[in-house]
Structure 1
Amino acid sequence: MPLKAHLIEARNRLFKSALAMLPGIVIGWILYDPLMYALTEPLREISLTRNINASLNFEGVTTSFDLKIQISLILGLIIASPVWIYQLWAFITPGLTKRERRYTLSYMFASVPLFLAGIFAGWIIWPNIVRALTSFTPTGGSNIMKAVEYLQFALQLMLFMGVAFLVPVLLFALNAVGLIRGKTYLKAWRFTILGVTIVSAMAAPGSDVMSMFFLATPLLVLYFGAIGLCLLNDKRRDRRDAKKARESEATADVPTPSTDLEIL
């Protein structure tokens, strides 16, 4: 396809993805109030149990309205994730071979539930993070947070967890096509821990160590879990290759029949 046709194809894929987000945006707009109540539940619990004033501050006249729009857009993006992930796959698949298409299709089906599972995991650990980060506030004190920063913290954490849960898919995909062996991943474990720590520090909205720790731990667990799967896959591939090699050696010792030589 010429460049113009590729650009038109990309525009159409983006339009379909944006169109799929509309129902999610409407749902996010409707669920804004119960979602805000659930996200701020840890603050109410902290206020009751620890005798401190933990609450949100909505600065400005339009802050509440802006937050409602932002949350609706993010929920639309999450709900429409199966559609835009498929559109991305459909855009790149014409340039792949039949074997590569089969691999990428299976990984696409695995990516959607893993991404949503990561979002859900972020939702589960969110109250624990809030409790841990506000535990340093002395009893009788006040912890009044900016609503924008609080919600950005929550949503950024959940999106980051969603991406983190895709790490096994990427690592195993590279191993399945034979590009990288599991031992190669394992040898780079020191650099991986360093890289995960740096990425978690950049992704964590605050400068505290606890938020970075809560982000880095799932990444490391997923990384080493993917390495284990890659090592098992390498063993299976090595056994298969060794069996083929033995069969080739066995057939090599058998003389070619004269009838086959005459045909040749």
Structure 2
Amino acid sequence: MTSDSVASQPGVMPLMDHLRELRRRLLIAVSAILVGTVIGWVAYPLVFEFVKQPYVTGIAPLLNREGFDATLVLSGGIGSAFTFRLKVALVLGLLLASPIWVWEIWAFVLPALHRNEKRWVYLLTAVGVPLFIGGVTVGYLVLPKGIQVLVSFAPESIQVLLNLGDYLSFMLRTVLVFGIAAQIPLVVVLLNRIGAVSARQLAAARPWTILGIFVFAAIATPSTDPLTMLFLAVPMTVLYLISELIARFTERRASRAPSS
């Protein structure tokens, strides 16, 4: 089959057109991130207060200890202040531009999918985004408790100096762990839909899965206290049980559907 005949078929695009389309969508995505980064640079004072708040809330109960002090410092050279502000602005730019660059990725992939596959992509995206945002929110709310527990290990009557860059990385890692963990229903339902696991297998593996969830939560949470671990493990367990029910419901509906 010649390239002309391939190009003439509906839904088929030559390789060079694919590359041009990819370049165009990458330019749009990068431009949106740059605009978001500029906004983050301008709004840096407000954003920094939001970033610092979990630390302030977390160490507040510890300041009652005699001689105890914990301060955020910015170290690393004369350009560290600029680098830190740029990093915060870039993170905010990625967040603000996420609807655009996520859509550009899907818009490039969707034409190659069948109608039924597109429907599932829309459904998973509509469910996955709120789940991720909810997980990130929970992670931000439990962050002060994790900070309090970790800083409390410092001996009394000393001054704790915490690097601001390390704190930002710690904060981002924590909220991302909670956001990714909230995607459990999507992973389970997707595996069920492609036939990798059945509802019966999910039910049989439930005790071991819940045990694995608690082990993961114990490793992934920022502190060693059981309360923070439960804040991650309990929602993950509930989401897993919900996804098991969804898998069972979809299998029953599929079994009742008339075969073609």
TM-score normalized with structure 1 length = 0.75
**Matched-pair contact (CA < 8 Å) for 1:122–1:158:** yes
Count of aligned pairs between the two proteins: 242
Partner SS, residue 139 of structure 1: coil
Alpha-carbon separation, structure 1, partners of 2:215 and 2:36 = 33
Matched, 1:7 2:24: no
1:156 deviates by 1.7
Which amino acid is the alignment partner of residue 137 of structure 2?
F
Match of 1:19 among 7, 26, 31: 31
> Following the alignment from structure 1 to structure 2, what is the Cα–Cα distance between the partners of residues 223 and 85?
28
2:70 counterpart residue number: 54
1:185 matched to which residue of 2?
A: 202
Structure 1 equivalent of residue 155 of structure 2? 138
Unaligned runs of 5+ in 2: 1-12
Pick closer, same or farther for the CA change 1:185–1:142 going to 2, 3 Å: farther
Q: Does 1:101 align with 2:113?
A: no
Instruction: Report the CA distance shift for 1:114/1:84 in structure 2 as closer, same or farther (over 3 A).
Output: farther
**2:91 is equivalent to residue 74 of structure 1:** yes
Please list every run of 5 or more consecutive structure 1 residues that lacks an aligned counterpart in the other structure.
249-264
Alignment check: 8 A CA contact 2:65 2:156 kept: yes
Q: Structure 2: how far apart are the matches of 1:231 and 1:21? A: 39
CA RMSD of aligned residues (A): 3.3
Give the distance between the partners of 2:187 and 2:45, measured in 1 at CA: 36
The verdict on how the C-alpha distance between 1:49 and 1:194 changes in structure 2, with shifts beyond 3 A counting, is same
Between the aligned partners of 2:230 and 2:104, the Cα distance in structure 1 is: 30
Call closer, same or farther: CA 1:75–1:188 in 2, change over 3 Å: farther
Question: Between the two proteins, what is the percent identity of the paired residues?
Answer: 27
Judged with a 3 Å threshold, the aligned counterparts in structure 2 of structure 1 residues 116 and 160 are, in CA distance, closer, same or farther, namely same
For the residues of structure 1 that align with 2:234 and 2:58, how far apart are their CA atoms? 29
Structure-2 residue corresponding to 1:41: 56
1:225 aligns with 2:242: no
Rg comparison, structure with higher value = 1
Aligned to 2:3: none
**Structure 1 residues 123 and 217 mapped into 2: Cα distance closer, same or farther (>3 Å)?**
closer
Q: CA deviation at 1:130?
A: 0.6
In structure 1, the residue matched to 2:173 is 156
Q: 1:79 to 1:197 in 2, by over 3 A?
A: farther
The answer on whether the counterparts of 1:181 and 1:231 sit within 8 Å (CA) in structure 2 is no
CA offsets 1:33-71 (integer angstroms, 9 cap, x no match): 233334242366245333411111211211121111111
Partner of residue 142, structure 2? 125
Find the aligned partners of 1:68 and 1:149 in 2 and give their Cα distance.
14
Q: State the alpha-carbon separation in 1 of the partners of residues 233 and 112 from structure 2.
A: 31
Distance 1:14 1:239, change over 3 A: closer
Alignment-derived partner of residue 32 in structure 1: 44
Q: Which residue of 1 aligns with 2:130?
A: 113
Cα gap change, 1:112/1:239 in structure 2, threshold over 3 Å: closer, same or farther? closer
Partner in structure 2 of residue 261 of structure 1: none
2:229 and 2:30 map into 1 onto residues whose CA distance is 29
How many angstroms does 1:113 deviate by? 2.3
Question: What corresponds to 2:106 in structure 1?
Answer: 89
Query: In 2, are the aligned partners of 1:167 and 1:223 still within 8 Å (CA)?
Result: no
SS in 2 for 1:144: strand
**Does residue 169 of the first structure (1) align with residue 183 of the second (2)?**
no
User: Is the 1:175–1:182 Cα contact (8 Å) retained in structure 2?
Assistant: yes
Superposed CA offset, 1:203-253 (max 9, x none): 67x7x6459x847862663355234333344245325524748xx9xxxxx
- Which position in structure 2 is the counterpart of 1:255? none
* Aligned partner letter, 1:41: V
> Which residue identity lines up with residue 24 of structure 2 in the other structure?
N
Distance 1:180 1:220, change over 3 A: farther
